[in-house]
Structure 1
Amino acid sequence: MTTLQPTPPTTTALPALAARVRAARSSVIRDLLALTERPGVISFAGGLPAPELFDLDGARASFAAVLADDGPRALQYSPTEGDRALRAAVAARCTERGLPTDGADVIITTGSQQGLNLLATALVDPGDVVLVESPSYLAALQCFALAGARLVPVPSGEDGIDVDALADLAARLAPKLLYTVPTFQNPTGRTLDLANRRAVVAVAEQHGFRVLEDDPYAELRYSGEPVLPLAALTEPGRVVSTGSFSKILAPGLRLGWVRTDPSLRAGVVVAKQAADLHTSTVDQAAAAHYLASGRLDAAVARTRAEYRRRRDALLAGLPAALPAGSRWTSPDGGMFVWATLPAGWDTTALLPRALEHDVAYVPGAPFFPTDPEPATLRLSFTTYGPDAIAEGTRRLAAVFAS
Structure 2
Amino acid sequence: MSAAVSAAVPATATAAPPPAFAGRATSVEGSPVREILALTERPGIISLAGGLPAPELFDTEGLRAAYDTAFAVSARRALQYSTTEGAPELREAVAARASARGLPTGPDDVLVTSGSQQALTLITATLVEPGDVVLVENPTYLAALQCFGLAGARVVAVPCDAEGILPDALADIVVRERPKLLYTVPTFQNPTGRTLPAARRAAVAEIAARLGLWLVEDDPYGDLRYEGREVAWLAAHPGAEDRTALLGSFSKVMAPGLRLGWLRAPAALRRAAVVAKQSADLHTSTVDQLAAAHYLRTVDLDAHIATVRTAYRERRDALQNALSRSLPADCEWNLPAGGMFFWARLPEGHDATALLGTAVAHGVAFVPGAPFFAADPDPRTLRLNFTTHTPAEITEGVGRLGTALAEYGGKRIGGFNAGGRP
The DSSP-based 3-state class of the residue aligned with 1:258 is strand
Q: TM-score, normalised by structure 2?
A: 0.93
The answer (yes or no) to whether the contact 1:322–1:341 under 8 Å persists in 2 is: no
Unaligned 5+ runs, structure 2 = 1-9, 408-422
Q: Which amino acid aligns with 2:323?
A: L
- In the alignment, structure 1 residue 146 sits paired with structure 2 residue 150: yes
The answer (yes or no) to whether the contact 2:244–2:266 under 8 Å persists in 1 is: no
Kindly state the Cα deviation for residue 343 of structure 1 after the two structures are TM-superposed. 2.1
The answer (yes or no) to whether the contact 1:62–1:290 under 8 Å persists in 2 is: yes
Cα deviation code 1:360-394 (max 9, x no counterpart) = 00000000012110000000000001010010011
Residue number in structure 2 paired with 1:41: 45
- In the alignment, structure 1 residue 277 sits paired with structure 2 residue 282: yes
Aligned with 2:373 (options 361, 368, 376): 368
Q: In structure 2, how many angstroms separate the alpha carbons of the residues matched to 1:7 and 1:212?
A: 56
Q: In structure 2, how many angstroms separate the alpha carbons of the residues matched to 1:124 and 1:335?
A: 30
The DSSP-based 3-state class of the residue aligned with 2:85 is coil
Q: In structure 1, how many angstroms separate the alpha carbons of the residues matched to 2:330 and 2:123?
A: 41
Q: Which amino acid aligns with 1:350?
A: L
Q: Which amino acid aligns with 2:255?
A: A
Aligned with 2:109 (options 105, 109, 121): 105
Cα deviation code 1:275-329 (max 9, x no counterpart) = 0000000000000000000332221111000000000000111123333311111
> What are the residue-to-residue correspondences of 1:118-129 with 2, within 5 Å?
118-129=122-133
Residue number in structure 1 paired with 2:86: 82
Q: Which amino acid aligns with 1:288?
A: A
The DSSP-based 3-state class of the residue aligned with 1:337 is strand
Residue number in structure 2 paired with 1:400: 405
- Quote the sequence identity (%): 59
Residue number in structure 1 paired with 2:330: 325
> What are the residue-to-residue correspondences of 1:222-371 with 2, within 5 Å?
222-235=226-239, 236-371=241-376
Kindly state the Cα deviation for residue 7 of structure 1 after the two structures are TM-superposed. 4.6
Q: In structure 2, how many angstroms separate the alpha carbons of the residues matched to 1:321 and 1:128?
A: 45
Q: Which amino acid aligns with 1:135?
A: P
The answer (yes or no) to whether the contact 2:137–2:164 under 8 Å persists in 1 is: no
Residue number in structure 2 paired with 1:116: 120
Aligned with 1:385 (options 355, 379, 390): 390
The DSSP-based 3-state class of the residue aligned with 2:156 is strand
Unaligned 5+ runs, structure 1 = 1-5
Q: Which amino acid aligns with 2:350?
A: W
Q: In structure 2, how many angstroms separate the alpha carbons of the residues matched to 1:15 and 1:42?
A: 44
Q: In structure 1, how many angstroms separate the alpha carbons of the residues matched to 2:347 and 2:209?
A: 39
The DSSP-based 3-state class of the residue aligned with 1:45 is coil
Q: Which amino acid aligns with 2:400?
A: R
The answer (yes or no) to whether the contact 1:80–1:273 under 8 Å persists in 2 is: yes
Q: Which amino acid aligns with 1:170?
A: V
Q: Which amino acid aligns with 1:366?
A: P
Q: Which amino acid aligns with 2:218?
A: D
> What are the residue-to-residue correspondences of 1:198-237 with 2, within 5 Å?
198-235=202-239, 236-237=241-242
Q: Which amino acid aligns with 2:105?
A: T
RMSD over equivalenced CA pairs, Å? 1.0
Q: In structure 1, how many angstroms separate the alpha carbons of the residues matched to 2:237 and 2:155?
A: 25
**Count, aligned residues:** 397
The answer (yes or no) to whether the contact 1:184–1:190 under 8 Å persists in 2 is: yes
Q: Which amino acid aligns with 2:279?
A: A
Q: In structure 2, how many angstroms separate the alpha carbons of the residues matched to 1:106 and 1:148?
A: 27
- In the alignment, structure 1 residue 169 sits paired with structure 2 residue 211: no
